[in-house]
Structure 1
Amino acid sequence: MNIHPSIEVSATARVGAARVGIGGPVGSGKTALIERLIPALAARGVSIAIVTNDLVTAEDAERIRRSGLIDPARVAAVEAGACPHTVIREDPTLNIAAADDLEMLFPDVELILIESGGDNLASTFSLDLVDWWMFVIDVAGGDDIPRKKGPGVLKCDLLVVNKKDLAPHVGVDLDRMTAEALAVRSGKPMALTNCRTGDGVDAIADRIVRELLFR
């Protein structure tokens, strides 16, 4: 079974493709990160599929389908009908079903990326749904985000600080923000990225391959 070694596995643990959650506030760069991860993971020989979540739209899924980066049939959309965190945390049934369907359609899939539509700093993933998850914030959202100690920042397996190139333009001390994030996370890993250019994404792809696919 593909699973992060730090996660406790229940007696009913699922066998199949590893599942990675990607959450974070609106506009932080979750979809942009996925668009960069698709070719990065393909270059590492990983077969993937994607599930997106949003309130009442499939906009993120359609964006990825139109990108030309992946077979559109490998992208599923879940419309939450309420705050998207409810279907990745309180009742992940819709997402579990969507991921299961993708695995049935594409038996070669090794990894499913599950993106949570816009949510606040409380967005977290149920471990019934994912094996490992990332939380994406961006410097333009304010360098105080780590200090607010939201559950997303504290609990995720990997904190991604995106749009690092904007730091000098929005008055953010990136070194201090990084140090504060590491401190509140007690040293758990984080990554600095610029998903517009792809800077920092290869390191995330390597971590996923190493920690979930054990390569």
Structure 2
Amino acid sequence: MHLDHADPYTDPYLDPHGHGAGAARPDGSRRALRIGLGGPVGSGKTATVAALCRALRDQLSIAVVTNDIYTREDAAFLLRNAVLPAERIQAVETGACPHTAIRDDISANLEAVEDLEDSVGPLDLILVESGGDNLTATFSKGLVDAQIFVIDVAGGDDIPRKGGPGVTTSDLLVINKTDLAPYVGSDLGRMASDAKEQRGELPVLFTSLTGPDGVAPVAEWVRERFTAWTA
């Protein structure tokens, strides 16, 4: 069973300000906070999901939905690294551009989310990872309550300046793999300045998941979102 792609201005379970479905499920119970992670191929989305699960699993009840076009590689990576029990990870094979499954026809992802809530719930947090895509990737507000967009310094320090909806409108922009900056000639100060110009007051975080507690700033941002959600 899955909910239809609802209109946030007419559906009573959606926030009228367009920030995704409200805290109540149709049966009146509190549903999980849903956070989507998108970004280009190789930016570190799956590694970020894995690190977030490790950082938050002792505090929050978490599940993950992954999206790949023709495989289940991302889900398999999470399972191999034992970040969560297998029953808390579901894979969606989109069979087409990832935009389709996270923005246009979200039914498969909604069904996966609801199946997880029904089978292992109650849950506090569901992370929905998009398959790798370009700078225009955005999530439907009917699917997630907040969106993290992940880029990396190896893709070029001009990415924030290029903009695109993922960079300019996501709730959090993560610039990953900062440890590679000296080797690929990326200027982190320039990336920070360009991101600020594109995003205004929307937050930007720099991460290096190879370092100790490299995901800590992102995990803290998720905790703050969860606190606001439960309130």
TM-score (norm 1): 0.92
Conserved 8 A contact 1:66-1:72: no
Is the partner of 1:89 in helix, strand or coil?
A: helix
Structure 2 gaps of 5+ residues are 1-7, 15-20, 25-30
Q: Does 1:160 align with 2:174?
A: yes
Q: Which amino acid aligns with 1:11?
A: P
Structure 1 gaps of 5+ residues are 1-7
Q: Does 1:35 align with 2:36?
A: no
Aligned to 1:123: 137
Aligned to 1:58: 72
Give 1:65 shift. 1.1
Task: Report percent identity of matched pairs.
Answer: 50
Is the partner of 1:88 in helix, strand or coil?
A: helix
Conserved 8 A contact 2:64-2:89: yes
CA–CA distance in structure 1, aligned partners of residues 210 and 112 of structure 2: 28
Q: Does 1:143 align with 2:144?
A: no
Q: Does 1:183 align with 2:197?
A: yes
Conserved 8 A contact 1:25-1:136: yes
CA–CA distance in structure 2, aligned partners of residues 184 and 200 of structure 1: 25
Which residue of 20, 43, 48 maps to 2:35?
A: 20
Aligned to 1:205: 219
Aligned to 2:123: 109
TM-score (norm 2): 0.86
Aligned to 2:107: 93
Q: Which amino acid aligns with 1:79?
A: E
Aligned in 2, Cα 1:198/1:181: closer, same or farther, shift over 3 Å? Answer: farther
Aligned to 1:133: 147
Give 1:199 shift. 4.6
Which residue of 65, 90, 109 maps to 1:76?
A: 90
Runs of 4+ in 1 over 4 A off after TM superposition: none
Instruction: Give aligned pairs, total.
Output: 207
Conserved 8 A contact 1:32-1:196: no
RMSD, matched Cα: 1.5
